Structure 1
Amino acid sequence: MKTFPFISTLCRQNKYFLIGLCLGFFFSFILSPIFENGCLVNENGEGYTNDHLSRSRSLSSDSNLLGDEYEPRINFAGKPNKARKTPALLNRPRYYSTELGIREKLFVGVLSSQYDVSTRGAALNKTIAHLVDKVMFFIDAPGHQKLNISMPGGIVGFTDTRRTLKVFHMLKYITDNFLDEFDFYFLVKDATYIKARELYEMVQGISVSEDVHAGSGRRDEHTSFCSLDAGLLLSSSVMHKVMLSLDWCVKNAFSDSYDDNLGRCILHATDMSCQESVQGYALTSYSLDRSFNMEEDIERLTKDYKFHSALTLYPVQEPNVLFQLHAYFCKVGLVHNKQDITSLRNSLVNMSEMTPGRRSGVTWPIGIPSGTVPINRFDVLRWDYFTDTEVYLNSDFSNVKKLDGADKKDIQYVVNASIKQVEAGWGEHLQYHHLINGYRRFDPSRGMDYRLDLAFRDTRTGQEVHKRVEVCKPLGRVEVVPMPYVTENVRVNLILQVEAESKLEAMKFMENYARICMEKRDKTFLMLVLLYDPSLPGKGTKDDIFLSVKELALTLSDRYKKDGSKIAWVSIKIPSPNELANDPLLEFVVADLVIRKFSPESLILMCQSNMDLRQDYLNRVSFL
């Protein structure tokens, strides 16, 4: 009874809420079927089911059905979309030195003329080209006449013959082609002798972090321009600045002197005057008299310190004088090297007194390692016994072998040098008779050692005297260069030029080729180029001069026919061999005729009949 009054009170307080809730339920039950029928009936009175997996909701439904305006459609046109911006490919340079910015050390540019480049220019090129990184000659070329000379470095001709602009044409060419390839540039005239070895050693000690504008040969104390006759050394940074000021230099070139025009240009570009020394190195020069004679003046100049310390000497008008100067300074350099070697040897002997072994620890020759000490009997190096004509037990598979080729020349050289040494040490009364015994051993850590027993005849008594001589041919500067083996199966085409005088060597080469390549089924091909002399029996005759060579080629081809190996030949008739005996153009002519028989992508190796063919060598060729 108490509950009912409480409920009635609660209903009175919330009567509006309860009325609204009841009306909401009422209208929802009445209006819901009306709205649902209106959505499922189209204008034609056709009804649809309320199934979510019906045809109207299926991706494979008929596209002609009407009524469902929101049916999803997939557009496959132009998809997937391509990237709006194609990523740039990284083109890496061919050489790692280009990517790392490693440059060569010294470029030498020589100002010459079309009349002097074949005389003084050729002489200068022969004396310095093998000692510096690159040499180029710059000349006037007013016409289309070709020079009857070629140089490894190159000759550049300028059609503009104005004297005031010639040096700027040289600078323009260098900055356009070699600006980032060298650390230093040495500019000079062709009437100058250059001590290229000392110049190269000097630039190796100069830092490239500073601007270098150095030279010598100033006309007076007041000028700041160095002489181009004495040579001008510029760093790469200075050449960069000069390149940016070339237009100003050309407009302000009003002097006929190369020294003034070039010096003014560099001074404007770098605000640096020419210096005679840089970082402790002096670029000195020596001015020779116009009437300089090597035979008459050399005795006087040998006592002149400036003459020996100069890096350049000028003017040198005649090519033979330039060669004489080069020969003289080479002899002086050899004497200094021998003195340095003797001094080092004496210092090593003197220092040995302070070592535990004292004098017994000094090796022979002095400064050369004593050799490998074998750990066990398997590491003992073998001595090969030889005579004048044969070598015994030179390998594990032969007892005796006839001395020929490089081995014979090597032993003859060692024996002759030993004879001269014995005659110089014991007097001329000893006359060489014959070689009794000879032994040789190769030590990878030391070099080649020889022990010779030589028989001499004493001309005073008539008795036979025996002398034992020990000779060492030490290895030079050894550098182990790791080379990867080839992984591509590329065919190597070998071309061998065969003349009538070298057919025996060619047959030995073919036998060696069969053993090295054909037996191991390597992808190689050998083509013989038979050079016929018109005065000798030609091909197709019974007395064919190359008949034995052809028969051996056919025999080896038939033997290894199953492996796909073959030796072919091509015959070429040449003019008189006396005319082409020492002509290097013959090899180019032969190569031009034979290469046409190969495809452009073929790998071709030009061979000689006396070369020693090795498998490792062919691997290197394929790798390249």
Structure 2
Amino acid sequence: MVGGGRTGVHLLLGFVIGAAFYLILYSSQSEENFKNSLAAFTSCRSPESEGVDVLEPSALEKGRIYKDVSEHWIVHQDSMPTPPANQDATPKVTRTRFAATELGTRERIMAAVMAESALALSINATLGRHIPRVQLFADSSRIDNDLGQLTNLSPYKLNGQKTHSMVLGLLFNMSTHDNYDWLLLAKDSTYFNPFVLLRMIDTMNWNEPVIMGEPAEDGSGRCRLDSGVIFSQPAIALLLINRGACSSLSTATDDDQLAFEKCIQIATNLTCKPLHQGVRYEVWRGERADSPAAHDSIEDWKHSAAFRRALVVPRLLSDADASALHDYFVRVEMARADREIVKMEADLSRLAEEEARETGEAISWPPALPPFAKPPNRYQVPTWEYFTMTEIFRSEPNQNVRRLEGKDFDDVAEVVVAARNEVESEEPELEFVQLRNGYRVFDPRRGMDYMIDLTYRKTVNEMLDPENRFEGDNEAGHEEGLKEIVVERRVHVSRMIASTQLMNQAPYVKEDTDVTVVIPVASEKDVLPARKLLARQARLCLSPTEETRKTRMVVAVFPLVDTRSVTAISNDMEELKRRCKRSLLETDVLPVRPAVSTEGKGTAAAAALDDAVDRYGANNIYLLLSPHADVQKEFFDRARINTIKHYQVFFPVPFVEYHPTISGMEMTEKEEKDTPTEQAREAALSRLRDGVEPKRKRALIVQKEHGRFDSQDFTCFAVYGVDYVTARTKLGVNERRNDLIAAFLGQDGIHILRAVEPTLRIRYHKRSCDMESVDTEDIARCVDSKKENVAAKDQLAKLLFHEK
């Protein structure tokens, strides 16, 4: 009893000491929080034992505590680690490479052709133009030189196996079941009508497992491989995934075609269907089922409606059979398209008439196009060109009438013939006299519209037509005779825009391409203008912004230039390079080897570009500038953007200065106001008669009094070196031309961009045309440009005639 008391005393003493420490260390608030937490903890109930007040340990071990006590927790948030240098902290989104993959879109059909002979080349040519993809599969032992050059050929080696093992394995590696809605499997001796095939797959749904073809004669449900087989997308997946079930057929004694047919049936477990969703798999075999298809039989077969709608023509003998069949079915498709167009036009006309009756407006022609010659508002009224059979009146600032010749004459003559045919088909009694008036205007939505006024002569009997009698005529005489009268007819003709096509994606261009500026100095008279051009270029480099694009200024000096002038140009180039350090400008003086005449400007430009491309490479943009040019800084950016490699050359339309003496730029504005008109006129005529070199006292500004945009000036242009080398072969080495535009005309791959360029100005100079040029049009263009760039018509009139 005493021992138990001693033990209890020690235990009681431990509890007392622990309680004392607790009261000392913890505050009353902590005690209150602990009580609340304990009450909440003990109030939780088991979800499986309703009405139990105390949470059992077994329930705690099973994780059945659902009471939220998070309001007493403290959240510690770690800061985001600093990303390494040159890395973005924004998380990257991983996207698929192609939109088609992300959206799950597929191509419509793929053709898998087993190539066994030269017929595969013809099938590849006929089908490849119409369906997205044609893939050829051939045994490597059968591939010849012509077949081996195809890029869509997949060779294989049998190694004692059947053909279906290799072909299906290659198709599985291509992921055909993921990329195409339909699969066409055929032999190269079978012709497929691509137009019927495309209409067929556009009519049916691909999401149902089905194989279509010509069933075998034994009733086994197989599809004949020599007639081709079409698989839907689910059937493709079944065929390729279950191709291992055909391994037992690789050692069978069946031939390759029969083994392939059995493999298709075993792997897909589908029966061949000649009819699906109302679409029939049409096979044409001629009079006999086993007779081969020959191109000589087409004349006999074309009278059959079943042959015209056939999808498959098997058992071809040669590539001539495939070509003849394809040509025939192309003609059938064109006739079908013509019938659909006629039907569509009739439907449009009917709908237009119904709409006209409802709205009360006139019927527009051609159908579905805006009305004829109806401007959208008063600010966009079109400008009509008036023409006769000899002249045409254009809307030009300096020349309003020109002779009707060339393509304009052919255009007008064809339109007049069409208008005459329309009038004379309705009134054959009329006798054509002449074209009275003609007008034409271009509408980008309708095409070229014409109004043709035709004059006809008509013989009438005045007794039967008393309205045509004239006052004062003898009535009795008119009753007995015939009278010729003049009849006017107006015809509206429209030449619609034809052969429209969607352009490919525009090539990518950027403004940081290197530019090499070439300035040819062919004679001594070009030295001073070239030095002035370099001085103006030096002033452009004074801008505070740094240039990161590389520009190279090259002065091409010809042997006819004096040595002292070459030294002066070299000094100017060194000074230009020193001032343009921030612009990364390079300068160079390029001596040109051949000695050319100073009259052949086109020849001088060609020689300068030839040596420049040889020296600096063909991958740069070469900007040829006339020594008399005056350019702004923005012009170089436009040259970079508008010059596209293997696609486009840039021929800007410059602003050409008039003669300073005639245009009045020799005098300042104060001198012009103080000098009488007659005195200024006589002084200007005196300087012109004496041949005094004009001096400019005003800045050259783009105004109609100072000059004009000359569309016949081709002295400045930008081109890639590789494109220039390709076009240069069109011109002879010593061929004399006034400009180089002829080298880029008539090319399919290179476009010529012409645009008005206010930042490119040509100072006035005595322009000489090479009259020994090989092209008469080149001479005429140069002479016309030279005459029109002297002055405006009103300025010439003020100079030659006294003002009243």
| Length-normalised TM-score, structure 1 | 0.57
Look up the match of 1:265.
263
Native 8 Å contact 2:292 2:315 kept in 1: no
Q: Structure 1 residues 80, 247: closer, same or farther in 2, change over 3 A?
A: same
Aligned pairs for 1:359-508 (under 5 A) are 361-370=362-371, 373-384=374-385, 393=394, 412=410, 416=414, 419=417, 437=438, 439-444=440-445, 447-451=446-450, 453=452, 468=491, 470-474=493-497, 489-491=511-513
> Structure 1, residues 262-297: CA drift from partner, whole Å, max 9, x if none?
3322322222111112222222111246465545x3
Q: Structure 1 residues 199, 369: closer, same or farther in 2, change over 3 A?
A: farther
Q: Does 1:211 align with 2:212?
A: no
> Structure 1, residues 59-113: CA drift from partner, whole Å, max 9, x if none?
xxxxxxxxxxxxxxxxxxxx97999xx9996432222111111111111111113
- Looking at structure 2, the residues matched to 174 and 417 of structure 1 have their Cα atoms a distance apart, in angstroms, of 57
Look up the match of 1:556.
625
> Structure 1, residues 554-595: CA drift from partner, whole Å, max 9, x if none?
851865898567767579799x99xxxxxxxxxxxxxxxxxx
SS in 2 for 1:357: helix
Residue type at the aligned position of 1:280: G
Q: Which of the numbers 277, 280, 293 marks the counterpart of 1:279?
A: 277
Residue type at the aligned position of 1:491: T
Native 8 Å contact 2:390 2:404 kept in 1: yes
Q: Which of the numbers 111, 114, 128 marks the counterpart of 1:111?
A: 114
- Looking at structure 1, the residues matched to 148 and 230 of structure 2 have their Cα atoms a distance apart, in angstroms, of 28
Q: Structure 1 residues 567, 170: closer, same or farther in 2, change over 3 A?
A: same
- Looking at structure 2, the residues matched to 396 and 569 of structure 1 have their Cα atoms a distance apart, in angstroms, of 36
Look up the match of 2:171.
174
Look up the match of 2:335.
335
Q: Structure 1 residues 135, 347: closer, same or farther in 2, change over 3 A?
A: same
Look up the match of 1:97.
100
Residue type at the aligned position of 1:337: A
SS in 2 for 1:612: strand
Report how far residue 402 of structure 1 moved.
9.9
Look up the match of 2:679.
none
Report how far residue 377 of structure 1 moved.
0.9
- Looking at structure 1, the residues matched to 190 and 132 of structure 2 have their Cα atoms a distance apart, in angstroms, of 18
Native 8 Å contact 2:242 2:267 kept in 1: yes
Look up the match of 2:223.
226
- Looking at structure 1, the residues matched to 436 and 356 of structure 2 have their Cα atoms a distance apart, in angstroms, of 40
Residue type at the aligned position of 2:328: Y
Report how far residue 425 of structure 1 moved.
9.0
More displaced 10-residue stretch of structure 1: 123-132 or 545-554: 545-554
Look up the match of 2:583.
none
Look up the match of 2:753.
613
Native 8 Å contact 1:142 1:160 kept in 2: no
- Looking at structure 1, the residues matched to 128 and 433 of structure 2 have their Cα atoms a distance apart, in angstroms, of 43
Look up the match of 2:184.
186
SS in 1 for 2:162: helix
Name the count of aligned residue pairs: 451
Residue type at the aligned position of 1:338: D
Q: Structure 1 residues 470, 157: closer, same or farther in 2, change over 3 A?
A: same
- Looking at structure 2, the residues matched to 416 and 90 of structure 1 have their Cα atoms a distance apart, in angstroms, of 62
- Looking at structure 2, the residues matched to 474 and 310 of structure 1 have their Cα atoms a distance apart, in angstroms, of 35
More displaced 10-residue stretch of structure 1: 331-340 or 185-194: 331-340
Q: Structure 1 residues 351, 292: closer, same or farther in 2, change over 3 A?
A: same
Native 8 Å contact 1:434 1:456 kept in 2: yes
Q: Does 1:238 align with 2:241?
A: no
Residue type at the aligned position of 1:611: H
- Looking at structure 1, the residues matched to 453 and 191 of structure 2 have their Cα atoms a distance apart, in angstroms, of 47
Aligned pairs for 1:274-353 (under 5 A) are 274-288=272-286, 290=291, 292-295=293-296, 297-350=297-350
SS in 2 for 1:125: helix
Look up the match of 2:530.
none
Look up the match of 2:195.
197
Identity of aligned residues (%): 18
Report how far residue 345 of structure 1 moved.
3.2
Q: Could you tell me which runs of 5 or more consecutive residues in structure 2 were left unpaired when the two chains were aligned.
A: 1-19, 21-79, 458-485, 517-546, 553-591, 610-621, 640-717, 731-746, 756-804
SS in 2 for 1:202: helix
- Looking at structure 2, the residues matched to 234 and 432 of structure 1 have their Cα atoms a distance apart, in angstroms, of 68
- Looking at structure 1, the residues matched to 192 and 422 of structure 2 have their Cα atoms a distance apart, in angstroms, of 38
Aligned pairs for 1:26-105 (under 5 A) are 90-105=93-108
Residue type at the aligned position of 2:153: I
Residue type at the aligned position of 2:752: D
Native 8 Å contact 1:352 1:361 kept in 2: no
Report how far residue 222 of structure 1 moved.
0.9
- Looking at structure 1, the residues matched to 293 and 507 of structure 2 have their Cα atoms a distance apart, in angstroms, of 58
More displaced 10-residue stretch of structure 1: 168-177 or 348-357: 348-357
Q: Does 1:134 align with 2:133?
A: yes
Report how far residue 470 of structure 1 moved.
0.6
SS in 1 for 2:448: strand
Q: Could you tell me which runs of 5 or more consecutive residues in structure 1 were left unpaired when the two chains were aligned.
A: 1-23, 25-78, 495-520, 527-537, 578-606, 616-624
Look up the match of 2:688.
none
Residue type at the aligned position of 2:345: R
More displaced 10-residue stretch of structure 1: 125-134 or 339-348: 339-348
Residue type at the aligned position of 1:471: S
Look up the match of 1:251.
248
Native 8 Å contact 2:207 2:232 kept in 1: no
- Looking at structure 2, the residues matched to 325 and 572 of structure 1 have their Cα atoms a distance apart, in angstroms, of 44
SS in 1 for 2:496: strand
Native 8 Å contact 1:556 1:567 kept in 2: no
Report how far residue 122 of structure 1 moved.
2.7
- Looking at structure 1, the residues matched to 148 and 488 of structure 2 have their Cα atoms a distance apart, in angstroms, of 57
Native 8 Å contact 2:419 2:493 kept in 1: no
Native 8 Å contact 2:225 2:257 kept in 1: yes
Report how far residue 207 of structure 1 moved.
1.8
Look up the match of 2:23.
none
SS in 1 for 2:111: strand
Report how far residue 142 of structure 1 moved.
2.9
Look up the match of 1:599.
none
Residue type at the aligned position of 2:380: D
Look up the match of 1:588.
none
Q: Structure 1 residues 175, 440: closer, same or farther in 2, change over 3 A?
A: farther
Aligned CA-pair RMSD: 5.4
Report how far residue 172 of structure 1 moved.
2.1
Q: Structure 1 residues 352, 525: closer, same or farther in 2, change over 3 A?
A: same
Native 8 Å contact 2:100 2:106 kept in 1: yes
